[in-house]
Structure formats: C-alpha cells, structure tokens
Amino acid sequence: MKRKKTIGFGFDPEEAQQHFMVIVPKAGNKQSVSVYERFVWDEGDVQYTALPLTVSKAYMEQAAYDAHCVMPMVPVNDEEEKEKIRHKIILPYKKWRAVKPVLEREFNRTLKAEGKLTGRFKSGHIPVERLLGKEMMVLLWAIEDCDSSVIDKAVQNWCGLSREERWWLFTMTNASTGEADDKLGWRSALRYALTENPVEEMVCQGDFLESLAQHR
C-alpha cells in the first residue's frame, strides 16, 4: 500500500494548515532549536516567523537567527499575522539532541500506523503535524530548564503517557504558559511531574494531575 505523502512529520497543508515548525541549526552551530506553532501555511517556498513586541533579550537573539537563517520576519505591528504564528520554545541544542531520537521513533511509529510517510529531524525547518506537535511540546517544555541528568527520566515518563494524556497536558499548559518566554505555572509543574515522578508510580491520571496542581 502506497503511503500518503506529507511534509516533515505527517503535515499535509491541504488537510489543515495548523502545524508546528521546528527550526534546527546545523551541527556545531551555537544557536538553539526553536519551535513555532503556526496556523497558516504560506504559498511558495518561504515560510514566515513572527516576533512579539515585548520579549527577552535571548528571545530576540534567537528569533533574529531564525529569521536570518531560515525564515523572513513578519512585521511586528501586524497583529493579525502575529496571531497566526507563535513562538513556543527556545531549547538548547544539546537538549534537543538528547530527545531527537525518541521523538523520531515515536512519531514515525504513529505515522506508519496511519499509512503516512515517515520523517527525520535534520537541520533547517521541519513542519510537524499539529497533534504530533502537541505531544512534542510536552516533552520539550518539561526539559527546557531541567538538569541534563534527568532528561532520560523525562523521556521515560513521556513515553509512559498515552497520546491523549499528552494532548491534555499540552492543552492545559498552553492555555496560560504557552509562549517561549513563559516559564512559570503549568510549565514548571509539567517539568516537575515528568522529571521527578515516575509515571508508573502514579496509580491513575488523577494522581498525576494532583501532582501537577501542587507544583504549578
């Protein structure tokens, strides 16, 4: 059976334009990995990023890199366009490299089951289908500020969650702390839950949610 052709990891702009765009620098580059949530797919070869008006210095530097090396910048005074493109995270390349294999493995397992072409995270900009992107963000948010020594535990716990649980965690976290500069509330609770508490020790989803509530 012929697999359905998609872009990146399962993204088909003819089905739905919402997706996540992962910007990966070339190996050896000192820049971090950025992820944007985009609600539009631009016609032609060029895809655009957006830069909010009030951001940190690190955010500014990373967004400028993204624009210069991969994507031109949407004007910051264009509020309508800004709502279509949201910067979700700036992740150190070393941490990205630690979780890239498991993301590729899990995503490709899902894509094969759905009869779609598999993907690979290489340097450049890689679109990720919206549901896979939500799952990805849960793991990336959990490790963005954690010690590197607990990344394996975060990966193990993330793998222990069902897809539906990952979607729910994304929805709750994204509602109040979904931008690249947001680091408190649900973001910190998510980090604690996935890096400190083995999922197998949680008797049920209620216990996991209680742990999140205690640390947000």
Instruction: Give the pLDDT score at 215.
Output: 56
Q: What confidence category does residue 69 fall into, taking pLDDT thresholds of 50, 70 and 90? A: very low
Instruction: Give the pLDDT score at 185.
Output: 86
Distance, CA of 137 to CA of 203 (rounded, Å): 24
First to last CA, the chain: 47
**Closest-CA residue to 115 (of 12, 37, 20):** 12
128-150 CB burial, b ≥16 within 10 A, e <16: bbbbbbbbbbbbbbbbbebeeeb
Residue 216 C-alpha from the chain's centroid? 20
Please, are residues 14 and 5 in contact by the beta-carbon 8 Å criterion?
no
Please, are residues 130 and 75 in contact by the beta-carbon 8 Å criterion?
no
Q: Which of 74-78, 83-87, 153-157 has the lowest mean pLDDT?
A: 74-78
β pairing state of 85-91 and 33-38: antiparallel
* 151's tokens: 């990344």
Please, are residues 19 and 11 in contact by the beta-carbon 8 Å criterion?
yes
In Å, how far are 116, 126, 201 from 145, measured between CA atoms?
Answer: 33, 23, 23
Q: What is the mean pLDDT of residues 146-165?
A: 94
Distance, CA of 3 to CA of 72 (rounded, Å): 32
* pTM of the predicted structure, to 2 decimals: 0.82
* DSSP-assigned letters across all residues of 9-29: BTB-TTT---EEEEEEPPTT-
Instruction: Give the pLDDT score at 50.
Output: 53
| Non-local CB neighbours of 33 within 8 Å, separated by 6+ positions | 22, 23, 24, 25, 90, 91, 92, 93, 96
Pick 8 or 208 by higher pLDDT.
Answer: 8
Q: What is the mean pLDDT of residues 33-50?
A: 76
